[in-house]
Amino acid sequence: MEKVLTCWIVDDEPLALSLLESYIQDTPDLMLTGKYNNPTLAMQDLISKKVDLIFLDIQMPHVNGMELAHLVPPETKIVFITAFKEYALEGYRVNAFDYLLKPVSFEEFLITCKKVLDWFDAVSENSSGLTTASGSEAIFVKSGQQLVSVLFKDILYIEGLKDYIKVYTTNSSRPFITLETMKNMENILPSNLFIRVHRSFIVQKNKIESVNRNRLTVASREIPIGRTYKQKMLNFISHK
């Protein structure tokens, strides 16, 4: 990876702060640009400073990590580091990238960092968004240094993940990853071919293999049908 990720540590325990600092110093693709034993100071710096990754404790005085996480911009990834495994589910509700239990070994730390680095690599390779011409039968997605034409008929489904989307196709084992919103994606795709079935999923109608109550299957993957989109889905099935 060419880019070095900037990162912060927010933890009120001096030993944990020192340990993570040493881990970051031993990881070439990371650069420590902030360390805080007071989450309030981190909150203040979030207003004026940018950071790629925050290693964030949860149980801290005055402001806990979950409260701070809600203020972190979507382009910044969060890795929760805590001694309490019961926070795992709540952590994923605020879109934490990962969750590590104290005491964290260097091996565990590196595994998580590799996942974060891979994510930034994928997004940077496909970061120009999606474009399509009027009357076109394809969208253009940036892949590496070139724009690749992806035919509508080859798209299986689109998955939205907070600040980016994954476009799954019939002729690629890996999805295209692009910084884009599901709303814009819904507007770009022709409604006669695609249907939004969940806040995080748009599927191609012709690729739906089965529908079972609150789920449907595309390319052997089960996809949830959201309550808001259920009636639209029922209308599509009844007119098929």
Residues 6+ apart with CB under 8 A from 75: 52, 163
Phi, psi of 201 (to 5 degrees): -140, 135
Question: Torsions phi, psi of 8, nearest 5?
Answer: -120, 155
Q: Looking at residue 149, what DSSP letter applies?
A: E
Contact 36, 46 (CB under 8 A): no
What local confidence, expressed as pLDDT, does residue 36 receive? 95
User: Would you state the pLDDT for residue 87?
Assistant: 55
Dist. CA 198–CA 81, nearest whole Å? 31
Pairing of strands 5-10, 30-36: parallel
**Where residue 149 falls among pLDDT bands split at 50, 70, 90?**
confident
- Quick one: what percent of the chain has pLDDT higher than 70? 85
Query: All domains of the chain, ordered by start, with CATH?
Result: 5-125 (3.40.50.2300), 130-238 (2.40.50.1020)
More confident position, 180 or 236: 236
| pLDDT > 90? residue 147 | no
Whether the Cβ atoms of residue 194 and residue 202 lie closer than 8 Å to each other:
yes
Helical packing angle, 106-125 and 14-25, nearest 10°: 60
pLDDT the model gives residue 198:
94
Give me the DSSP letters along 170-210.
Answer: TT-SS-EEE---HHHHHHHS-TTTEEEEETTEEEEGGGEEE
Amino acid letter, 55: F
Q: What is the pTM of this model?
A: 0.57
Mean pLDDT of 120-136: 59
133 confidence band (pLDDT: 50, 70, 90): very low
Close Cβ partners of 188 (under 8 Å, ≥ 6 residues apart): 130, 132, 139
The pLDDT assigned to 109 comes to: 95
Buried-state track 69-93, b at ≥16 Cβ within 10 A, e below 16? beebeeebbbbbbbeeeebeeebee
- The rounded distance, in Å, linking the Cα atoms of 209 and 219 is 7
Can you give the pLDDT at residue 63? 79
